[in-house]
Amino acid sequence: MPIDAANPVPPTFPRHVGMDQVPAHVPKDLIRQSGLTFGPEFLANPHDFMAAMHEKQPPIYYDVSPMGNMWHLIKHEDALFGLRHPEIFSNEGATPFPRDPNDYFYFIPIEIDPPHHRKYRNIVDPVFSPKGVLKLEGLIRKRANDLIDSFIDKGACEFTEEFGRPLPVSVFLDIMGLPQDMRDTFVSWAMELLHSNDRERMGAAMMSITEYLKDAIAEKKANPDDGVVSLIAHAAPDGVPLSDKEIFGFVCFLFIGGLDTVFATLNNIWLYLARNPAKVQEIAERMDNDIDRIVEELLRRWSVTFSGRVLDQDYEMRGVQMKKGDRVTFILPACNFDPDVFPNPLEVDFDRPRKTILAFTVGVHSCMGGHLARLEVKIALQEWLKRIPEFKLKEGAHIEYRPGGVIGPEEVTLTWK
Amino acid sequence: MPKVHYVDHTGQDTEMDVPVGENVMHGAVYNGIEGIAGECGGALSCATCHCYVDDAWTAKVGGPSSEAEEELLENASSEVKPNSRLSCQIEMTDDLDGLVIHMPESQY
């Protein structure tokens, strides 16, 4: 689909919601109401739920949900194929966040298909490349230790609020050049947008974000600094400055992407570690030599999100006929549990042969923050285990998962001696 | 600035400046050279920046730089040969000025 990012228009294909809006070409026997992201079975233990999909569901099925009907794909092989063929599985209009149709914009670069998306990635990729993020290592270590200082003597902390959230969010705000004192406000907007599962509340959150970011961009235009908001506001690929709509859509997308994902990832991992002291021991022993393997395997086991696409043509896979305009979600955590690729998928095994994991999706839209996320997980593990080598879940702690498109527990209260 | 020759499967040779310290994958991706996908951005996680180092350069460039690169190369979609490398793991130096790499027909 040709796309003009400077003159965005809302997508024309319809959103289908609920059982009475299942298109006629969907075979009855492939219709499911899986409850993914909100059902009680999912929320009780989302990762086990997604691993079990390989036994309970066909590889491709049509999910009917109050959040929108779409095809779900759960095989690793199908995700690699689909996500690497943007001419079939397009990103245009595939991002679920509501926008004002009278002031429409694209989320950049995620909604931009090749070849145009590279223009945008080239602006920020150097900052987020493995080398680029290494410059942040000292800062991240310091922030991690400052946080640990603030609670270590208590012998307890509520991990998500006291470490899981402030570490990645404060690092992200440093990178963007946004003020630290807005941290909690930003997070609350992101929570509404990603976890309210309510289109009206999502819309209200989007309004607050829009208002704030437009001011922030104007400020950076007037007073350039080293942050990524300023970098984007002043970018001029091939000598042509980005338009206001492009700048806003780009900054807004990074803002949403940066506030919630590493947070959820750390929360998942620390909950697991608190319940598995033998693994903590193994990590501590192997950390000096195998930290990259350890991080990669933990990211496979505790992936937090999904990739949405829209069919840009009629397409048949595994005998299932899908039609142009159908929405598709690749269930990335389920793909990471595909037993054909990762035998005993729920087992955390740092010695697995290296395979492509889908924690950061694949294809041209692979997560640009993936290197930063890896570095943050690595540093968090190293600094935490150095200082708090043994810890467990608080006695009687009840774990509840947050509904929505980024998967993680609400609260993880830890104790140690 | 040192130059790299990116030769595609049809034999077409594109010469690009790649700064010292940058890797050969980025040199292709940032300059719009098709044939290197580099989709994970250099995290040693995807094997889509597979290339063949030209015979004249293999001694200078060397083999896989880590166990991880070696393992991941096994996932490359095109035939893996003795001169196969992941281009994200080849860092430019002045010594590599003029480097020639060959790209497979597809990275998927």
Q: CB B37 to CB A125 under 8 A? A: no
Q: Is there a contact between A74 and A306 (Cβ–Cβ < 8 Å)? A: no
Q: Is the pLDDT of residue A320 over 70?
A: yes
Is the residue at B25 inside a domain?
Answer: yes
Which of A215, A191, A362 minimizes the C-alpha distance to A264?
A: A191
Angle at B46 between CA A172 and CA A168, to 5 degrees: 15
Instruction: Please report the beta strands in A74-128, taking only residues with DSSP state E, as ranges in sequence order.
Output: 89-90
> What residue type is assigned to position A336 of the chain?
N
Query: What are the chain A neighbours of B40 within 8 Å (beta carbons)?
Result: 356, 360, 362, 366, 370
**Domain at B64, CATH number:** 3.10.20.30
pLDDT mean over B68-95:
95
Which of B2, B77, B63 minimizes the C-alpha distance to A84?
A: B77
ipTM: 0.84
Residue corresponding to tokens 């946080």: A147
Chain A residues touching chain B at CB-CB below 8 Å: 80-81, 84, 115, 118, 122, 125, 128-131, 292-293, 296, 353-357, 360, 362-364, 366, 368, 370-371, 374
Domain that holds residue B77: 3-102
CA terminus-to-terminus distance, chain B:
31
- Which among A115, A130, A360 is the nearest to B42, CB-wise? A130
CATH no., domain A19-415: 1.10.630.10
Compare all CA atoms of chain A with the CA of B47 and give the residue at the minimum distance: A356
DSSP string, A276-308: -HHHHHHHHHHHHHHHHHHHHHHHHHT----EE
**Whole-number average pLDDT of chain A:** 94
In angstroms, the CA A277 to CA A283 distance is 10
Instruction: Please report the beta strands in A359-412, taking only residues with DSSP state E, as ranges in sequence order.
Output: 392-393
Work out how many domains chain B is built from and give that number: 1
φ/ψ (deg, to 5) at B53: -75, 130
Q: CB B39 to CB A115 under 8 A? A: no
**What pLDDT band is residue A1 in, cutting at 50, 70 and 90?**
very low
Query: What are the chain B neighbours of A355 within 8 Å (beta carbons)?
Result: 75
In angstroms, the CA A156 to CA A141 distance is 21
Q: Is the pLDDT of residue A332 over 70?
A: yes
Q: CB B108 to CB A80 under 8 A? A: yes
Is the residue at B90 inside a domain?
Answer: yes
**What pLDDT band is residue A3 in, cutting at 50, 70 and 90?**
low
Q: CB A374 to CB B71 under 8 A? A: no
Is the residue at B26 inside a domain?
Answer: yes
Which of A281, A308, A293, A252 minimizes the C-alpha distance to A95?
A: A308
Quote the radius of gyration of chain A (alpha carbons, Å): 21
- Which among A131, A357, A362 is the nearest to B39, CB-wise? A362
Is pTM beyond 0.80? Reply is yes
- Can you state the percent helix, strand and coil of chain B, rounding each to 5? 25, 20, 55
Q: Residues 6 or more apart from A159 whose CB is under 8 A from it?
A: A266, A267, A270, A271, A412, A413, A414
Residue A409's SS3 state is strand
Instruction: Please report the beta strands in A180-319, taking only residues with DSSP state E, as ranges in sequence order.
Output: 307-311, 315-317
Q: CB B108 to CB A371 under 8 A? A: no
Compare all CA atoms of chain A with the CA of B30 and give the residue at the minimum distance: A122
In angstroms, the CA A251 to CA A254 distance is 5
In angstroms, the CA B45 to CA B69 distance is 9
Is the residue at B107 inside a domain?
Answer: no
pLDDT mean over A45-50:
98
Is the residue at B19 inside a domain?
Answer: yes
Q: CB A356 to CB B29 under 8 A? A: no
Between positions 47 and 106 of B, the ones with CB within 8 A of A are 47, 68, 71-72, 74-75
Lowest mean pLDDT segment, chosen from A74-88, A164-178, A194-208: A194-208
Is the residue at B108 inside a domain?
Answer: no
Left if phi > 0, otherwise alpha if psi is -120 to 50, otherwise beta: which for A313?
beta
pLDDT in tens, A49-91: 999 999 999 999 999 998 899 999 999 999 999 999 999 999 9
Query: What are the chain A neighbours of B28 within 8 Å (beta carbons)?
Result: none
Which of A334, A369, A295 minimizes the C-alpha distance to A51?
A: A334
Which of B45, B98, B64, B15 minimizes the C-alpha distance to A362?
A: B45
Which of A279, A302, A303, A267 minimizes the C-alpha distance to A159?
A: A267
In angstroms, the CA A399 to CA A228 distance is 36
pLDDT in tens, A112-164: 988 888 999 999 998 999 889 999 999 999 999 999 999 999 999 999 999 99
- Which among A118, A122, A356 is the nearest to B45, CB-wise? A356
Q: Is there a contact between B38 and B88 (Cβ–Cβ < 8 Å)? A: yes
Residue A20 is encoded by which pair of tokens? 């009475």
Compare all CA atoms of chain A with the CA of B48 and give the residue at the minimum distance: A363
- Which among A80, A118, A370 is the nearest to B40, CB-wise? A370
In angstroms, the CA B73 to CA A268 distance is 30
